[in-house]
Amino acid sequence: MVKAIFFDIDGTLVSFNTHEMPESAYQALKQLKQNGIRIFIATGRGKDGLGVLRDLEFDGYITLNGQFCYTKDSVIYENTIAKEQLEYLVSYLKEHPFPCGFTLRDTKVFNYRDERVDAIHAITKNDNHPAGDISHITEEHVYQCMAFISEEEEKELLKHMPDCTSARWHPLFTDISPKGGTKQKGIDHFLAYYGIDLEETMGFGDGGNDLQMLEHVHTAVCMENGAPQVKEKADFITDDADHDGIYKALKHYHLI
């Protein structure tokens, strides 16, 4: 029996084409709540990027790929990048400049922006934060860094940031996060909080940063637009958001 369902946002709950949650998904999630099933967000977005969820109230939010997990009433778990790792990254950026967004609890600060950042904002409508001075950033609580680098540059950078890991859902950038906080870990924190077994879980996702989550939950659903490696791990592949994929999958499993 499914008691908890975890949803990615971009490319899953929210369409890459309309940048909105389809009405069918909105109504389906409301029906899940009426049926007594707990619903959770599991996203790479921060708190400031959740406006796309409209007025839905979730039972928990796994944000920043698991670095900051909370309910409407309390923080369940948080994990920040160590100061020495931030100091190295800031120093690295001076010699090897690339756009980098430093995510704080409620906002994001970029060192500078270029067409790559604008291209991602065109997809997510969530990365319009201005560029500014980052000299103070090593004194802040930084949960995640949005680094606009290639996979080769990513590997080189992480050699010098051993306490961090990365997750990529788009070729233009990778999310660099402290080890210990993942969507998978976020799920475990909420299962313990609500007293739910892993066998009673389901997850929906599409990108590389959803892979661990979908490998972890009992029933994994991938969207039609999902990455090939994510589809391989799915128990069920549903239509994309524009074609009512969330609604169809929940009907398939007789949850609504």
Q: Which residues are catalytic?
A: 8
Query: Contact at 8 Å (CB) between 69 and 62?
Result: yes
Sequence-ordered list of residues with C-beta below 8 angstroms from that of 105, at least 6 positions apart, any chain:
46, 47, 68, 141, 143
How many CA atoms are closer than 13 Å to the CA of 48, on its beta-carbon side? 12
Strand partners, 201: 4
- The sign of the CA dihedral 204, 205, 206, 210 is negative
Distance from C-alpha of 105 to C-alpha of 63, rounded to nearest angstrom: 10
The amino acid that residue 156 corresponds to is E
Distance from C-alpha of 114 to C-alpha of 238, rounded to nearest angstrom: 35
Distance from C-alpha of 61 to C-alpha of 249, rounded to nearest angstrom: 21
Query: Contact at 8 Å (CB) between 218 and 200?
Result: yes
